[in-house]
Amino acid sequence: MLGLFLANYEDFRRRLRRRLRSDDLVDDVLQETYLRVERLDPDAERATHPTGYLFRMALNMAADHHRSSGRLLTGEEVDDLIQGADDHLDPPTVLSSQQDIAALGLALDMLTRRQREILIAARIDELPQVEIAARHGISVRMVGKELKKALETCATKVGRKSVQRFGPGAGDPS
């Protein structure tokens, strides 16, 4: 697998640069992916589409990097990753992704109308909480509470951990 990774390195770099829009992030992701591929058991079962598997591994590294840095993906970045997803994904990955999307849909249905609108305004439209508060005629603090509740509901339903941002400016643009 390491040889295949190295043979496709420049292609992976080009594809990741187009999606991540950051040379530094691409370098970090490729380095982390290299280290993970290097540790793979050579006798392990091979993927049906090894190049797609390696690229998906790099995308997962990018997602892990975003999570660990406390930065949330923007709506545009999520769309780019979804639209640019490799066509050669293995069936278990496709099924898992479909289940996550279905669970997220159910979670959104569980939210109140205001929570759903606040979540979309904050995470997809990237509006500042002050503007969201003005739209709904509520306080900024209430927007934060509703957003937190919506994120926790979605995270629980999808089976993920809800990460809260703290510190200076954490409640400004959402």
* Whole-structure pTM value: 0.44
Q: What is the mean pLDDT of each run of 10 residues along the chain (174 residues)?
A: 83 84 84 84 67 82 70 61 59 76 84 91 87 93 92 81 54 46
Longest alpha-carbon distance in the chain: 61
pLDDT at 172: 47
pLDDT at 89: 61
Cβ neighbours of residue 4 closer than 8 Å, sequence gap 6 or more:
50, 51, 54
Q: Where are the alpha helices (DSSP H) in 40-139?
A: 50-68, 75-83, 91-110, 113-119, 129-136
Top-tier CATH class for 91-158: mainly alpha
CA distances from 120 to 75, 100, 106, 116, 129 (A): 9, 18, 15, 6, 12
Whose CA is closest to 49, among 11, 12, 88, 7?
Answer: 88
DSSP state of 174: -
pLDDT at 81: 63
